[in-house]
Chain A
Amino acid sequence: MYDLVTAAVEAALAAGARYADARVMETRSEWMTARNGAVDSLERRDRAGIGVRALIGSSWGFFAIPELSPAAARRAGTRAAEVARASSLVSGPGLQLAAQPSAQGSWSSTCLEDPWSVPLAERGGLLEGVTRTMLDHGADLAEASHRIWDTRKWLATSEGHRVDQHIVECGAAMNATAVGERETQRRSYPGIRGQYGTRGWELVRELDLPGNAPRIAEEARALLSAPACPALEATDLILGSEQMALQIHESVGHAVELDRILGWEAAFAGTSWLDLRQMGSLRFGSDLMTITADATLPGALGSFGYDDEGTPAHPVDIVRNGTWVGVLSGRDSAALAGIPSGGAVRADGFDRIPMVRMTNVGLLPGPHSLEEMIAATDDGVMMDTNRSWSIDDKRLNFQFGCEIGWEIRGGKRGRMLRNPTYTGISPRFWGSMDMLGNRSEWTFWGTPNCGKGEPGQVGHTGHPAVPARFRGVRVGVRG
């Protein structure tokens, strides 16, 4: 494959590019779903092709083709340069890519049990079995799924990078829905999106779907008759780690994407409330809040050896003890900000332009246990498992809903609450965090469906998270 990517780069340079890179990506994926005791969908997809970026002046061009031949590679390189030349009709300020020593290497994720080696009947049987269990325990609708992605990619750049990687990702999800007279209630496990990682089938076995199926079905049924989460202007709120992963993803991860901060996503995904001039001094949250973007975490969904520009994976400090100190970046955005590349540029296929994506953006653990948080709360609400998520285009104002809540009274977990929601303004909310879960509760949550960009790209991101307590939060917003 290195011959192909090299030919593509050379063709782009011959067509006038001053920099070019090319990626061959081969991806095989599988998505199996079961519903109410039967596998109802099994889809596989094989994708292979080459994508080329060319830089002429300060203008980028990209071209992709689903064909792996020397002729196609050269044609893709030539046409990428043609597109870049058209971009220069509406050109921007001068652009130098952030310096990055050329890397040569190979990297593979660790996969203890090859998911493709697990018989289809076993995989299907697992999903069918847990959906039957959920039906038996009160669900009106029971769904389960697993997904596998197996990606190989080869990168060459005109600066001498030569990198190849093999990444296996997999995971599973299940949920139970109870249908009432006026509304539906749903419980998911391990989270609304399931749980995924750069791991093999061993991850799915560790999830223990069968052991959790009865509980979530019973909880979904019980929620139909539970009291609604009260509408309170200010209360103590404890969030479980799955909801914390969503909180981090939406209100921190996207906000610190440098392309958003620079306005490159202004028309679509939006911008950010953060101003680069305040990096290093702005208070993002309380002293307990330390967040890193670390693509080196073993098994986490946002891990890799090199990003799609060939920058080696490395941890980047984002928020340190409550102060905003870093961003997610690539070579072009980092150059404009005057910082080194954060190595956070990825594309979801050969046919998409690499762009700034979250790696593993998450909290470092704190000193408290969940039990300590509950015991220390006299009057409050606890919520977990994301159900809805909405945040403004500057990533400042959010309103999130969870599947389940509980009253906290006198330091004890009380009644179950349905339709719990909370809302807030990001720095105020994070500033109110006064208790943070410890390392024993640290979970590397994987989000396999992060949408961004035009044409849309689906990113796989990781979010180390622990439970946390926030003070004075508005809860129970209803229509």
Chain B
Amino acid sequence: MTDVQRDLAIFAPVTDRSGAIRRATDALDIADQVLHLVRAKAADAEAEVTVRHGEEALTRFASGFIHQNGAEVTRRVLLRVALDGRSAGSSMDGFDAEGLARLVDDVLEVARHRPEDPDWPGLAEAAPAAGVEHWDDATASAPPDERARRVREFVDAADGLETAGSCLTAGTRVAFANSAGQRLVGRTTVAGLSGVARTATSAGSSRDASVRLEALDGGALGRRAAAKARESADATDLEPSRYEVVLEPQCVANMLEFLFAHGFNGRAVEEGRSFVRLGEAHFDRAITLLDDATDTGQVGVAFDAEGTPKRRLEVVRAGVTSAILHTRRTARKAGTESTGHATEGSGQWGAVPSNVVVAAGDRPTSALVAQMERGLLVTDFWYTRILDPRTQVVTGLTRNGVWLVEHGRVVRPVRNLRFTQSFVEALAPGAVRGVGSERTLILDGLEAASLVPALHLASWNFTGGARG
């Protein structure tokens, strides 16, 4: 057995302190045995267990060389119990028997001593998850040389420009079991390569992600970043004002984070902090938005942190809001069903999407630029922060390449600008002039991503230059 195989192996000997010790055979077996331990201590407890294991690696480069390069074995057990509606959760790293027994004791102890949780939603009932799997064996076991090779390609393709970025690979296996009989397993790989190339006065970026490392072309990404850097060199100031814009996919993914966190999140809706009303045309007809773990271009597993199967959920159809995202807790309060959007942090944040998909349009990004009368082509957004969740007014800056476009042609690069803009208004009926046909997978962690195109928007409020 190699070290890699050993690190990926499941080897937890679990005991229920009655003397029965046996070797777990896989992640689901560990979950089952933890449930068994809970039942042995508290027969009436409701319990759910998630077991995750795998290996993650990230190779970072800057100034043209690899300066940080790490890999880790991941082994994690998350346990949540409820005793007569008193719920508590805890997690631990590793699968050792003593630790698992301590975890069970600790969670039960905490649950006994905490107040009753009036909104405890109970456990997910047994239901199958979609038979989709986003997995690639070669990516799960990719050696560091494979990541270094893609970094080499990126750096060489930048042809002398200073470069920085990262290449990651991860393979994660997930098992879920609860005392209501729900038992699920899934696995996912992800690979990502992103970077910037820099001149003395500018920077350009590129990125790609996939289930397969083999799909990532370091040379192509390095050339794209370098071209953007060179084309944005010696940029000049542009008067801050309202301009029409073509926003490339990273910007669009960034906008969606705010729309989901503060808008489509069932918790925000329930608390009155959201602009979202079911059935209302908040957006332009060109916008159709889904969360779809079954999309073949996506990553992640087909069930959420509460064991609810994920499905293809149409959130906005032709501009009209058609769904609100729910965990079991927010769904209970809203009198509906969970949509499968619980994550580990949902206790604090509410429902979180993991597989956002924006329906593609009918023309390439270059055609969106060509139809702009006078506006800006923006590569990336940076450091966006919300000023008010209800109106979705957000401030942030442009980054890694901005160009002034007149009569459909790029006329010059401009220096980075600060904007202060309502994201809802920017996508309102009549505000979307085009949706790109090419989509990019933008990673959000190792098990979530957004598959998004570029957008051509009628107006964007730039409120200052980045230099003051």
A46 engages B90 (CB within 8 Å): yes
Contact of A79 among B71, B155, B273, B465 (CB under 8 A): B71
Q: Which residues of B contact A14 (CB under 8 A)?
A: none
B3 within 8 A of A: yes
B194 within 8 A of A: yes
A226 within 8 A of B: no
**Taking A92-B67, A479-B387, A479-B461 as contacts, is the C-beta distance between A267 and B3 under 8 angstroms?**
no
Contact of B162 among A64, A263, A352, A390 (CB under 8 A): A263
A266 engages B113 (CB within 8 Å): no
B367 within 8 A of A: no
Chain B binder among A34-42, A153-161, A365-373, A374-382? A34-42
Contact of B143 among A86, A182, A267, A424 (CB under 8 A): A86
A141 engages B273 (CB within 8 Å): yes
Closest to A429 in B: B468
Interface pairs (29), CB distance under 8 Å: A41-B89, A42-B87, A42-B88, A44-B89, A44-B90, A47-B93, A67-B73, A82-B144, A84-B69, A86-B143, A89-B149, A90-B61, A90-B151, A119-B113, A124-B114, A140-B271, A184-B273, A263-B164, A264-B63, A264-B67, A265-B62, A267-B62, A270-B382, A353-B68, A393-B399, A455-B70, A477-B420, A479-B395, A479-B422
Contact of A42 among B61, B114, B420 (CB under 8 A): B114
Closest to A92 in B: B65
What's the least CB distance linking A266 to chain B, in Å?
4
What's the least CB distance linking B204 to chain A, in Å?
11
Closest to B155 in A: A90
5 interchain residue pairs of minimum CB distance: A92-B65, A86-B144, A41-B347, A62-B70, A66-B93
Q: Which residues of B contact A89 (CB under 8 A)?
A: 66, 145, 148-149, 152
A412 within 8 A of B: no
Most buried by B among A78, A86, A267: A267
- The distance in angstroms between the C-alpha atoms of A86 and B68, with both chains bound, is 11
B251 within 8 A of A: no
A183 engages B390 (CB within 8 Å): yes
A42 engages B89 (CB within 8 Å): yes
A41 engages B382 (CB within 8 Å): no
- The distance in angstroms between the C-alpha atoms of A266 and B382, with both chains bound, is 13
Contact of B93 among A46, A91, A128, A267 (CB under 8 A): A46
Q: Main secondary structure on chain A at its contact with chain B?
A: mixed
B63 engages A33 (CB within 8 Å): no
A450 within 8 A of B: no
**Taking A90-B61, A141-B273 as contacts, is the C-beta distance between A425 and B468 under 8 angstroms?**
yes
B3 engages A78 (CB within 8 Å): yes
Closest to A74 in B: B3
Chain B binder among A236-244, A316-324, A395-403, A431-439? A395-403
Q: How many residue pairs bridge A and B at CB < 8 Å? A: 279
**Taking A38-B118, A67-B94, A399-B464 as contacts, is the C-beta distance between A140 and B272 under 8 angstroms?**
yes
**Taking A42-B110, A479-B387 as contacts, is the C-beta distance between A397 and B72 under 8 angstroms?**
no
A478 engages B94 (CB within 8 Å): no
Closest to B102 in A: A46
B58 within 8 A of A: yes
Q: Which residues of A contact B125 (CB under 8 A)?
A: none
B90 engages A43 (CB within 8 Å): yes
Q: Which residues of B contact A392 (CB under 8 A)?
A: 382-383, 397, 399, 416, 418, 466
Q: Which residues of B contact A264 (CB under 8 A)?
A: 62-63, 67-68, 164
**Taking A40-B347, A66-B93 as contacts, is the C-beta distance between A91 and B65 under 8 angstroms?**
yes
Q: Which residues of B contact A128 (CB under 8 A)?
A: 115
A137 within 8 A of B: no
- The distance in angstroms between the C-alpha atoms of A67 and B76, with both chains bound, is 11
Contact of B347 among A43, A67, A86, A479 (CB under 8 A): A43
What's the least CB distance linking A261 to chain B, in Å?
12
- The distance in angstroms between the C-alpha atoms of A183 and B392, with both chains bound, is 9
B383 engages A393 (CB within 8 Å): yes
What's the least CB distance linking A10 to chain B, in Å?
16
Q: Main secondary structure on chain B at its contact with chain A?
A: strand
B437 within 8 A of A: no
- The distance in angstroms between the C-alpha atoms of A154 and B382, with both chains bound, is 37
- The distance in angstroms between the C-alpha atoms of A387 and B389, with both chains bound, is 11
Q: In the complex, which residues 67-86 of chain A have their Cβ closer than 8 Å to any Cβ of chain B? A: 67, 75, 78-79, 82-86
B58 engages A454 (CB within 8 Å): yes
Most buried by B among A78, A86, A423: A86
Please report A residues at the B interface, Cβ cutoff 8 Å: 31, 33, 38-49, 51, 58-67, 75, 78-79, 82-87, 89-93, 119-121, 124, 128, 140-141, 177, 179-180, 182-184, 262-268, 270, 351-353, 355, 387-393, 396-397, 399, 401, 419, 421, 423-425, 428, 454-455, 477-479
A390 engages B272 (CB within 8 Å): no
- The distance in angstroms between the C-alpha atoms of A92 and B57, with both chains bound, is 20
A396 engages B466 (CB within 8 Å): yes
Closest to B271 in A: A141
- The distance in angstroms between the C-alpha atoms of A219 and B325, with both chains bound, is 32
What's the least CB distance linking B48 to chain A, in Å?
14
B421 within 8 A of A: yes
Q: In the complex, which residues 115-172 of chain B have their Cβ closer than 8 Å to any Cβ of chain A? A: 115, 117-119, 143-145, 147-149, 151-152, 155, 162, 164-166, 168
B347 engages A266 (CB within 8 Å): no
B386 within 8 A of A: yes
**Taking A67-B94, A75-B7, A128-B115 as contacts, is the C-beta distance between A479 and B420 under 8 angstroms?**
yes
Q: Which residues of A contact B60 (CB under 8 A)?
A: 267, 454
Q: Which residues of A contact B115 (CB under 8 A)?
A: 38-39, 121, 124, 128
- The distance in angstroms between the C-alpha atoms of A262 and B68, with both chains bound, is 14
**Taking A64-B73, A82-B144, A87-B66 as contacts, is the C-beta distance between A45 and B92 under 8 angstroms?**
yes
B388 engages A60 (CB within 8 Å): no
Q: Mark B71-86, 1 if CB is under 8 A from A, else 0.
A: 1111110000000000
B182 within 8 A of A: no
B62 engages A183 (CB within 8 Å): no
What's the least CB distance linking B117 to chain A, in Å?
7
A38 engages B117 (CB within 8 Å): yes
- The distance in angstroms between the C-alpha atoms of A336 and B464, with both chains bound, is 36
Closest to B87 in A: A42
What's the least CB distance linking B111 to chain A, in Å?
8
Q: In the complex, which residues 241-269 of chain B have their Cβ closer than 8 Å to any Cβ of chain A? A: none
What's the least CB distance linking B227 to chain A, in Å?
17
Q: Which residues of A contact B468 (CB under 8 A)?
A: 397, 424-425, 428
Q: Which residues of B contact A179 (CB under 8 A)?
A: 271-273, 390
Closest to B76 in A: A66
B199 within 8 A of A: no
B196 within 8 A of A: yes
B94 engages A66 (CB within 8 Å): yes
B117 engages A60 (CB within 8 Å): no
A65 engages B7 (CB within 8 Å): yes
Q: Which residues of A contact B185 (CB under 8 A)?
A: none
Q: Mark B193-210, 1 if CB is under 8 A from A, else 0.
A: 011101000010100000
Q: Which residues of B contact A263 (CB under 8 A)?
A: 62-63, 162, 164
B343 within 8 A of A: no
Most buried by B among A51, A82, A182, A392: A392
B90 engages A45 (CB within 8 Å): yes
- The distance in angstroms between the C-alpha atoms of A85 and B148, with both chains bound, is 10
A62 engages B467 (CB within 8 Å): no
Q: A46-B90, A182-B391, A389-B385 are in contact. List 17 more A-B contacts (CB 8 A).
A: A43-B347, A46-B93, A59-B69, A62-B70, A65-B73, A66-B76, A75-B7, A120-B110, A128-B115, A179-B390, A180-B390, A267-B62, A390-B395, A423-B464, A428-B468, A477-B395, A479-B387
A479 engages B88 (CB within 8 Å): no
Contact of A87 among B69, B106, B383, B416 (CB under 8 A): B69
**Taking A64-B70, A179-B272, A397-B467 as contacts, is the C-beta distance between A266 and B198 under 8 angstroms?**
yes
Closest to B156 in A: A90
What's the least CB distance linking B397 to chain A, in Å?
5
B396 within 8 A of A: yes
A388 engages B94 (CB within 8 Å): no
B447 within 8 A of A: no
